[in-house]
């Protein structure tokens, strides 16, 4: 009798185990929902008029290092032209990146000396108050928290860059 019960139990486990569908290792495809924001970013166009300004940007291009691989960048902070070519520029105090508008899959990293010179030029051309940058750079519909942010900023130049980078990442 024990043998029959054991045998029936084993058959029962085999039937139950074989009747269940195996769990798939492949996950179902998911889609990311695109969240619309209440503002649009604008690219600042840099006008290089003086010979020394043009020289700074030409030096930055010649000293830059081509980065390997195909890139996917956020919207650029700036755009400038040298001769027939047009370039996008991303810059902060420590790093700078340039991309030719005719080859948007390749970026060039600026040398540290070029970063300093280009950053100084860009900040010289920027408005002095963060309010001018924020309101001039963005079309914003909800401004409640923005006024608090502007009034509580200690280092306005750093805040301008951080805000612009944040807006580009969200936009």
Residue 35's CB is within 10 A of a number of other CB atoms, namely 6
In a domain, 12, yes or no: no
So what's the pLDDT on residue 2? Answer: 76
Tell me the C-alpha to C-alpha distance, in Å, between residue 156 and each of 98, 115, 133: 24, 19, 10
Q: pTM for the complete prediction?
A: 0.51
In a domain, 112, yes or no: yes
Of 136, 64, 132, nearest to 97 (Cα)? 64
The arrangement of strands across the sheet holding 65-66 comes to 44-45, 78-82, 85-91, 96-100, 108-109, 65-66
So what's the pLDDT on residue 28? Answer: 40
Kindly write down the DSSP assignment for every residue of 24-84, as one continuous string.
Answer: PSSPPP--PPPPPPS--B-PEEPP--SHHHHHHHHHHHHH-EEPPS----PPPSEEEEETT
Of 143 and 165, the one with more pLDDT: 165
Average pLDDT on 114-133 reads 73
State what percent of residues in the chain have pLDDT above 70.
54
pLDDT in tens, 26-43: 334 433 333 333 344 678
In a domain, 15, yes or no: no
Expressed as residue numbers, the domain containing 107 is 44-170
Average pLDDT over the chain reads 73
Of 6 and 168, the one with more pLDDT: 6
So what's the pLDDT on residue 78? Answer: 92
In a domain, 135, yes or no: yes
In a domain, 75, yes or no: yes
In a domain, 139, yes or no: yes
Of the listed ranges 41-45, 48-52, 77-81, 102-106, the least confidently predicted one is 41-45
The total number of structural domains that make up the chain: 1
Helix (H, G, I), strand (E, B) or coil at 134: helix
Per the document, the length of the chain is: 171
In a domain, 11, yes or no: no
pLDDT in tens, 54-101: 999 999 999 999 998 888 888 899 999 998 999 999 999 999 999 999
How far apart are alpha carbons 19 and 40 in whole angstroms? 56
In a domain, 160, yes or no: yes
């Amino acid at each position: 009798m024990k043998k029959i019960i054991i045998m029936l139990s084993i058959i029962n486990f085999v039937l139950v185990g074989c009747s269940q569908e195996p769990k798939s290792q492949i996950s179902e495809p998911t889609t990311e929902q695109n969240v619309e924001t209440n503002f649009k970013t604008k690219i600042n166009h840099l006008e290089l008029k003086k010979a020394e300004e043009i020289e700074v940007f030409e030096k930055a291009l010649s000293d830059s290092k081509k980065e390997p691989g195909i890139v996917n960048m956020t919207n650029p902070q700036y755009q400038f032209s040298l001769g027939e070519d047009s370039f996008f520029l991303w810059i902060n105090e420590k790093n700078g990146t340039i991309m030719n508008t005719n080859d948007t899959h390749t970026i060039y990293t600026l040398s540290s000396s070029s970063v300093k010179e280009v950053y100084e030029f860009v900040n010289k051309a920027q408005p002095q108050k963060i309010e001018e940058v924020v309101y001039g750079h963005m079309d914003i519909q909800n401004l409640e928290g923005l006024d608090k942010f502007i009034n509580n900023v200690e280092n306005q130049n750093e805040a301008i860059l951080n805000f612009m980078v944040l807006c580009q990442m969200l936009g």
